[in-house]
Structure 1
Amino acid sequence: MIGYVTLGTNDLARAQTFYDALFATLGATRQWESERSTGWGTSPQAPALAVIKPFDGQPATVGNGVMVALVMPSREAVDAFYAKAIELGATDEGKPGPRGTGGYYGSYFRDPDGNKIAAYHD
């Protein structure tokens, strides 16, 4: 049902560099780009995550309580994705580990623009 999710950025070039390197760990590549936005995914038919400079020309801001969660194929993939994000300049919002009950295993970080991302395996 979800086609793509966009996150605001105030520095498109910096966001492109961050997500090019981070999403390479998942085999995702740029699916589109324009003067204001870039989207990554694993195919044109799969859901994508994009960064965009706001249409209204105002600064991009982070939504309180807004988070994008990306499913990973294993706990090891969660660990590797989180480590890569931190290496690329993300800030920690919750190191990889089990959460709650059951098999949920997740990590949380903020990209260089402050957008919150979760990587999880369940």
Structure 2
Amino acid sequence: MKYLCLAYYDPAEFAAMPPADKKALVSQCPPKDAQLKATGQLRVSASLGEPAIRLQPRSGKTQKIDGPFTETKEVVGGFFIIDAANAEEAIKTASLHPAATLGEQASWRIDMHPIGFFEQYEGKPA
């Protein structure tokens, strides 16, 4: 089963960190990312840019709304997809991501969602 993992953070808390603390925190991310990649279960990983854009139907037309949209102060800063045999294995694997183990002072966290159907479109003819 595949799992979509959304990595959240609080931009205000991250920005308020002293530069030396921020640098120390961020320097710990590459080794964590390497551990996650070494599992062989990582399918895709990316950081997300701001601002987000929402498309939604309204009065029979597609309406564009600029984000962020979360009801809390956290925003999605990145995502990754892992392939795991079960939820326990997915949790173990996702726990290697920096957002699961570092950055408590910036409110880093991960939400995991099982993916019921997954189709990769890259490289397929249109």
Smaller-chain TM-score bracket? 0.3 to 0.5
Structure whose alpha-carbon radius of gyration is higher: 2
Using CA pairs under 8 Å that are at least 6 residues apart, name the structure with larger relative contact order, 1 or 2: 2
Scaled by the length of structure 1, the TM-score of the pair is 0.35
